[in-house]
Structure 1
Amino acid sequence: MKSRPPVPMGAPRRVDLLNCADEPIHVPGSIQPHGALIFFSAAGELEGWSENAAATLALPLEPGRPYTGLGLPDEVAELVRECLDGMSEGEAAPMVAAIVIGDAEYDCVVHAYQGRAIAEFEARELATDTVAQFAIKAHGSIDRLRRQKTVDALLETAVRQVREFTGFDRVMAYRFRADDSGDVVAEARRDDLTPYLGQRYPAGDIPPQARRLYVLNTLRMIADVTYHAVPLLGMEGSAALDMSQAVLRSVSPIHIEYLQNMGVGASMSVSIVINGRLWGLLACHHMGPKRVPYSIRMAADVLAQVIASTLQGLESRQDAELVGRAAAVRTSLVESLLLEEDPLETLVQHADGLMASTDAQALVATQYGRVVCRGIEQACGEAIVATLPEGAHELLARHCLDDWPEQARASLGKWTGMLGLPFDPPSEGWCVLLRPEQVERVAWGGKPDKSQCGPMGERLTPRGSFEAWIETVRGCAHPWEDGVLTHARMTLGELARVSNARRAQTESTRAQLLAMLGHDLRDPLHSINMAGMVLEKTDAGNKSGTLGRRIQSSSNRMQRMIGQVLDMSRIDRGLELGVALVPVDLAALVQDMVEEAQLAYPTIVYALRIDDPAVVMADGGRLGQVLSNLLSNARHHGEPNQPIEVRLRHEDGQAAIVVANAGAPIPHEIESGLFNPFKRSSLNNPRNRTGMGLGLYIAQQIVREHGGEIAYRHEAGGAGASGGRVVFTVRLPLALEE
């Protein structure tokens, strides 16, 4: 049965900058013309070949014929056999042999990929002995590279050595950034060529699929950018040949056009791969066509592997030094935090070490609303703290102005880089490290504009000019390096452990204190109170009676304070205060509390008004505690010689108790924490020296356990110097009528 004729294995398609990112460059369906290619199935049967293979190799090519029946040179047949026998998971490493076909010398490279054995015959212009001399020279460069102590010196040596043994007009070392753009960091060139050193090339110059191939196949050569591709032929219905590892693979027309726009006639690129990541490239350019024999290219590839290994060693040493410095800073910081009482002051004391180990230039620390700064103005530090999210537990990194909340950007000053460590979320404790905006003048390799017309006609093409195009970049700080981020996470972990340890110790101490307050002090205070009563009654009207009253007053005040602390402890532990709900005549309760206050403070006027009767389900003792606190606050914080108004009425189907005193509005910063414990406004109030700021905190919890709410407002106008009233309203649900 006569076999079917071979058919082209890849159809050309229109490619431009709009779709080049989707171009399947690993299956181009063609090769460069300075060689020929044939490929076989895993069974060793011929599947396809390049259109020029029959004439170049002088072989009878027929689909399905075994490689042993093609009349291949013995060296080639042996390589194909070894490749097929050694195939593992469809792959085999390249093997090479120098052969002669007719009057021409070839490097035959055989490898396996995706279950196919591929034999490439690359024409060689240089004699074998000349190639050997170049290869020896290349291997002699390895020792020079290994002796370099810095990244810059290593790459400078590399470009000089590669240019020396390959003969390219220009050899550049690219180093890629985190955003995949690349900088030319070293260059060896012909004297008459325009230097590209220091220029940056955008990430779009190398699309993602090309980056993948740079990692997979670390060396690629284009012998002549003006070449006409030779199509592959294969059996009808055969899958396209994956040429990811091939040396003759045809390249993207977009890349050819890019090189032509640069004035390049031939190119070779060698990948620098570290831990599976494309770290950089050695890019070699020649102004005319140029072939570099396979063995010399492999020497360059080995050189790139030596460069990668040396770079990895240099970076590892730098990382180790950073880790050592950072560990010393963490150890010292943790030791101080365990000994010192104030975490914020401790952080400021260690600010220099923290900033040096993270390459930051300012530090802001905050906890419980307090903000301390180092290297930055207080107002700016407070503005930065205001942007921190509540309840965060993870490291927060910001790099550019766009990473910040829009409303805060105007108040940041020069600080655009932030590394936030939330070391104690319950207290909103943060350690914030800052970097300033880095105003950078970037020399791009040509203005990255797009043209509609290039060497291939009217289509969207790569930029035509590669002269340096300067752009000033603002609004971004130097990005936080991986090593710095790792150190910051470890520091955050240490700070969090210290905070948790301090919190546990505080809780233990508080529990012991509360136990003492609840048991060891209450009984003695009760005895003191009883003794005061006896003393007052025994010697009423004289000095001893007055002393007895003072003893009673002081002991009663101490008992109230102990009661408040114990109530606060129950609330903090998530326990309810415990209210026994029974029907309570609210009008009678309010009247009793006002009368009690009038007796205790006869110089103060209490204006009581009961508009509506009200019965609520309540704990009378606890509600009395709420009213007592509101009356006490009005007495201590209201304007002197002004009446305190108390009113009971119905509002929206609820009972409302209103307590008002003449006074100015409560400042906004105090209002936001009005129902928090231990308020500074209470602790420092000269008219209420014994207050701890717990009253409203406990009152709110009592009202909530009754299903009600307590609220503050200020009413303008009225008597008094302030011209307004401070009003607290307690709303409780009315009892259902039976």
Structure 2
Amino acid sequence: MQATDNVTLDNCADEPIHIPGSIQPHGALLAFDIDGALQAWSDNAPQLLDLTLALGAPLASLPLPAEVHAIAAECRDLIEDGEAPAIALEVAIGTHQFDCIVHAYAARIIIEFELREVPSDAVAAFALKAHAAIDRFKRQKSIDSLLQLATEQVRAITGFDRVMAYRFHQDDSGDVTAESLRDELEPYLGRRYPASDIPAQARRLYIINTLRLIADINYRPSPLVGRAGAAPLDLSHSVLRSVSPVHIEYLQNMGVGASMSVSIVVNGRLWGLLACHHMTALQVPYSIRMAADVMAQVIASIVQSIEARERALMAEQSAAVRTRVMETLLHHDEPARALLQHAPALCLSLQAEALVVAQYGKLMVHGDIDLALAERMVASLPQSGDEIIERSALGDWPEELRDALAPWAGMLALRFDPSTSGWLLALRREQINTIRWAGRPDKIVRVGPLGPRLTPRGSFDEWRETVRGRAVPWDATARLAAGQLLGEMHRASVARHVETDRARSQLLAMLGHDLRGPLHSINMAATVLQHGGAAGTMSTRIQASSGRMERLISQVLDMSRLNGGLSLGLEKNLVDLVPALQDLLDESRIASPGLRIVADLPPALPLMMDSDRMMQVVSNLVSNARHHGAQGEAIEVTLAERGDTVVLEVRNVAPPIGAEMVANLYSPLKHTSVGNVHNRGGLGLGLYIAQQIVHQHGGEIAYRYEEPQVVFAVSLPRN
């Protein structure tokens, strides 16, 4: 055969291990077509079974024990689509005791006779041990304790020197997570084996035929004969199937004399494996192997239940978070700020360590992440396309960003509102792992009789590899939580857009209503002037009305900027807040004769701020206090430093604000604004804009009631 040019792991994966053309010699095999005509047999069958065999011989004509003919007939009756499950019994032929196993596969009836030396009563005792072990399995609450118990119990009933429990990762590499072994053997617990140790076609066989025994790795295969003109005999479900020479070499390199593997299959996937090794040859009776197989099926069921329970708990927690997030989004003016109110719970739900929220070009973060880096992360996201973008390693990010990412490597990005560039980014840190490989995980190319081929690893000494640049991969639970959260956020966004359209119509109606008054006053004043009225009085009225119109239009423009995702264009400078406040309060006293304002201010308080905008906040609070406060009662204004925070409070005597009003206190468009005699000055936008100004200064504005006073407090960072 001509040597291949490229030797890769695909060469191993292409090996037809399900049709090896031979069996292990501790038994014999007969294969028949559906009609019972002999098609193939192992070359040791005539001697071991004391038979004379010829191609095409009818099964009924062979001098086999009656019970063999009976289970062969039963198997034939059970065939559907060319397959029937295995049926087994004990038989004696001459001086030999056999486990006889009959199954049908690929339209062939296969009868195997496996030699057995262990007496029936000993096998029964082992079966009782297996039953007791299964009862103990059901009481385990964690997967780790379950697997450890499994290795101990399988070793007890089979007699192997070492039993390991593998648990496979998404990349099909496997960790030894539990182990039971003879004292003098080197432990393999905690070591990882590469995915290439189990090629794809072997993984398939582990799933469809969950138990495989190699009684003696130094065996000489017994070839199959017969099969004239027939397709190769598929031994996928055979108990005597011969083993790949590569796998035999692998076991020899480990110093193993016999091997058994029992698959743990969860939801159709090879979830784990019980790998059994013996340092010498070991023939484990079929019935005991089947007991181990049943144990593995029970383990798989318990694993599935534990994982389902964990998923259900996570789903319940995620649902509670989504409900709270949805409620906040529907009642909050800033979705980004609303999301960050639930940041710790969202991190728990998404199994993330930091959050970034972007909308309208504004960015907010939760966690130890640099704001400039967060901006670059958001900028790296596509303008259109998938609604969920997943990155788990540095290689998943744009090349120009990789050097700046540390310590972050994983990202799950949710596009919750495309029209406003709304993104929620869940981030995971780089996990620097030291993997304890059982030997170097790479295979070696050697030239053999058939040309170059990959050979298995020759050393299983611990070999450590440090893996960088990867985060913990996003699993199905996190993806599900993200998808459900995104659905809720989409619904909130749609509801918000509907409300925005409604508010826009309401705004126009309010604006028309509130502008009609000052326009009418100006028109009347102009008419009086035209007819020789008092110029001074009319001039004052025109000035007051035009000022009111200017304030209305200014508020609408501010709201328009905010709804468009723009900032208010703050120009911060170091300003002494005290003189600015004194000037504003003096203007208020002059504009409203009889208004009493009591101020408690420090001698000076310099602060980085936009003075005009901050005075706009105070003016709004004082105006509200004047309109809604008790007649004749003073308005109190206090300014003080509290640690690293500057606190400005405006107080007035008034009844407490109703709970239904508090919920919408900072909403830009309140239904009570239209026609409200206490709100002659505007559309109800004042507190909304004041809140936005304070937020853009990095502060907070809050309402509370201290009988008999209504209190609005503005908190600003000192630096």
Range of TM-score over shorter length? 0.7 to 0.9
Change beyond 3 A, Cα 1:276–1:531 = same
Aligned 8 A contact 2:217 2:258 in 1 = yes
Determine the C-alpha separation between the residues in 2 that align with 1:339 and 1:527: 37
Report the alpha carbon displacement of residue 386 of structure 1 after superposing the two structures with TM.
2.3
Superposed, 1:611-690 pairs within 5 Å as: none
Change beyond 3 A, Cα 1:18–1:329 = closer
Superposed, 1:72-221 pairs within 5 Å as: 72-221=64-213
Report the alpha carbon displacement of residue 248 of structure 1 after superposing the two structures with TM.
0.6
Determine the C-alpha separation between the residues in 2 that align with 1:551 and 1:150: 76
SS in 2 for 1:301: helix
The answer to whether 1:399 aligns with 2:378 is no
Q: Where does residue 436 of structure 1 map in the other structure?
A: 429
Which range moves more in the overlay, 549-558 or 372-381? 549-558
The answer to whether 1:71 aligns with 2:71 is no
What letter corresponds to residue 333 of structure 1 in structure 2? V
Report the alpha carbon displacement of residue 443 of structure 1 after superposing the two structures with TM.
0.3
Change beyond 3 A, Cα 1:67–1:520 = same
What letter corresponds to residue 510 of structure 1 in structure 2? R
Aligned 8 A contact 1:536 1:548 in 2 = no
Q: Where does residue 354 of structure 1 map in the other structure?
A: 346
Q: Which among 381, 386, 404 is matched to residue 379 of structure 2?
A: 386
Aligned 8 A contact 1:383 1:412 in 2 = no
Report the alpha carbon displacement of residue 317 of structure 1 after superposing the two structures with TM.
1.7
Q: Where does residue 665 of structure 2 map in the other structure?
A: none
Q: Where does residue 274 of structure 1 map in the other structure?
A: 266
Superposed, 1:457-536 pairs within 5 Å as: 459-517=453-511, 520=513, 527=520, 530-531=523-524, 533-535=526-528
Change beyond 3 A, Cα 1:355–1:564 = closer
Q: Where does residue 418 of structure 2 map in the other structure?
A: 425
Determine the C-alpha separation between the residues in 2 that align with 1:552 and 1:375: 50
Report the alpha carbon displacement of residue 462 of structure 1 after superposing the two structures with TM.
1.0
Aligned 8 A contact 2:99 2:116 in 1 = yes
Aligned 8 A contact 1:536 1:549 in 2 = no
Q: Which among 310, 318, 329 is matched to residue 321 of structure 2?
A: 329
Aligned 8 A contact 1:442 1:473 in 2 = yes
Change beyond 3 A, Cα 1:327–1:552 = closer
Aligned 8 A contact 1:41 1:116 in 2 = yes
Determine the C-alpha separation between the residues in 2 that align with 1:85 and 1:379: 72
Report the alpha carbon displacement of residue 553 of structure 1 after superposing the two structures with TM.
7.2
Q: Where does residue 697 of structure 1 map in the other structure?
A: none
SS in 1 for 2:330: helix
Q: Which among 50, 69, 76 is matched to residue 58 of structure 1?
A: 50
SS in 1 for 2:273: strand
Q: For the aligned residues, what is the CA RMSD?
A: 3.1
Report the alpha carbon displacement of residue 564 of structure 1 after superposing the two structures with TM.
9.7
Report the alpha carbon displacement of residue 534 of structure 1 after superposing the two structures with TM.
3.6
Change beyond 3 A, Cα 1:393–1:461 = closer
Determine the C-alpha separation between the residues in 2 that align with 1:541 and 1:62: 132
The answer to whether 1:259 aligns with 2:251 is yes
Change beyond 3 A, Cα 1:142–1:563 = closer
Aligned 8 A contact 1:39 1:46 in 2 = yes
What letter corresponds to residue 128 of structure 1 in structure 2? S
Q: Provide, for residues 186-214 of structure 1, a one-character-per-residue CA deviation record: whole Å limited to 9, x for no partner.
A: 01111111111000011111111111111
Q: Where does residue 304 of structure 2 map in the other structure?
A: 312
Q: Percent identity?
A: 51
Q: Unaligned 5+ residue runs, structure 1?
A: 1-10, 573-691, 693-738
Change beyond 3 A, Cα 1:314–1:532 = same
Report the alpha carbon displacement of residue 146 of structure 1 after superposing the two structures with TM.
1.3
Determine the C-alpha separation between the residues in 1 that align with 2:322 and 2:341: 13
Q: Where does residue 656 of structure 2 map in the other structure?
A: none
Q: Which among 353, 362, 367 is matched to residue 370 of structure 1?
A: 362
SS in 2 for 1:278: strand
Q: Provide, for residues 9-49 of structure 1, a one-character-per-residue CA deviation record: whole Å limited to 9, x for no partner.
A: xx9x9999561111111111111111111111111111111
Change beyond 3 A, Cα 1:536–1:208 = farther
Determine the C-alpha separation between the residues in 1 that align with 2:47 and 2:73: 23
Q: Which of structure 1's runs of 4+ aligned residues deviate more than 6 A?
A: 13-16, 454-458, 521-526, 551-565
Structure 2 length normalisation: TM-score? Answer: 0.72
Report the alpha carbon displacement of residue 542 of structure 1 after superposing the two structures with TM.
5.3
Determine the C-alpha separation between the residues in 1 that align with 2:43 and 2:554: 98
What letter corresponds to residue 513 of structure 1 in structure 2? L
Determine the C-alpha separation between the residues in 2 that align with 1:17 and 1:500: 51
SS in 1 for 2:189: coil
Q: Where does residue 680 of structure 2 map in the other structure?
A: none
Aligned 8 A contact 1:42 1:117 in 2 = yes
Superposed, 1:708-719 pairs within 5 Å as: none
Change beyond 3 A, Cα 1:125–1:397 = same
Q: Where does residue 408 of structure 1 map in the other structure?
A: 401
Q: Provide, for residues 401-436 of structure 1, a one-character-per-residue CA deviation record: whole Å limited to 9, x for no partner.
A: 111111122222311111222222211122222111
Q: Provide, for residues 155-195 of structure 1, a one-character-per-residue CA deviation record: whole Å limited to 9, x for no partner.
A: 11110111111010110000000111000000111111111
Determine the C-alpha separation between the residues in 2 that align with 1:556 and 1:126: 103
Which range moves more in the overlay, 39-48 or 539-548? 539-548
Structure 1 length normalisation: TM-score? Answer: 0.71
SS in 2 for 1:19: helix
Report the alpha carbon displacement of residue 455 of structure 1 after superposing the two structures with TM.
10
Determine the C-alpha separation between the residues in 1 that align with 2:458 and 2:449: 13
Change beyond 3 A, Cα 1:476–1:114 = same
What letter corresponds to residue 463 of structure 1 in structure 2? R
Determine the C-alpha separation between the residues in 1 that align with 2:549 and 2:78: 95
Q: Provide, for residues 632-682 of structure 1, a one-character-per-residue CA deviation record: whole Å limited to 9, x for no partner.
A: xxxxxxxxxxxxxxxxxxxxxxxxxxxxxxxxxxxxxxxxxxxxxxxxxxx
Determine the C-alpha separation between the residues in 1 that align with 2:329 and 2:556: 33
What letter corresponds to residue 202 of structure 1 in structure 2? P
- Aligned residue pairs, count: 559
Determine the C-alpha separation between the residues in 2 that align with 1:192 and 1:274: 34
Which range moves more in the overlay, 358-367 or 273-282? 358-367
Q: Where does residue 595 of structure 1 map in the other structure?
A: none
Aligned 8 A contact 1:106 1:123 in 2 = yes
SS in 1 for 2:387: coil
SS in 1 for 2:256: coil
Q: Where does residue 607 of structure 1 map in the other structure?
A: none
Superposed, 1:527-566 pairs within 5 Å as: 527=520, 530-531=523-524, 533-535=526-528, 537-538=530-531, 543=536
Report the alpha carbon displacement of residue 342 of structure 1 after superposing the two structures with TM.
2.3
Change beyond 3 A, Cα 1:392–1:516 = farther
Change beyond 3 A, Cα 1:556–1:99 = closer
Change beyond 3 A, Cα 1:454–1:122 = farther
Report the alpha carbon displacement of residue 449 of structure 1 after superposing the two structures with TM.
3.2
Q: Provide, for residues 373-399 of structure 1, a one-character-per-residue CA deviation record: whole Å limited to 9, x for no partner.
A: 111232332232222322456222211
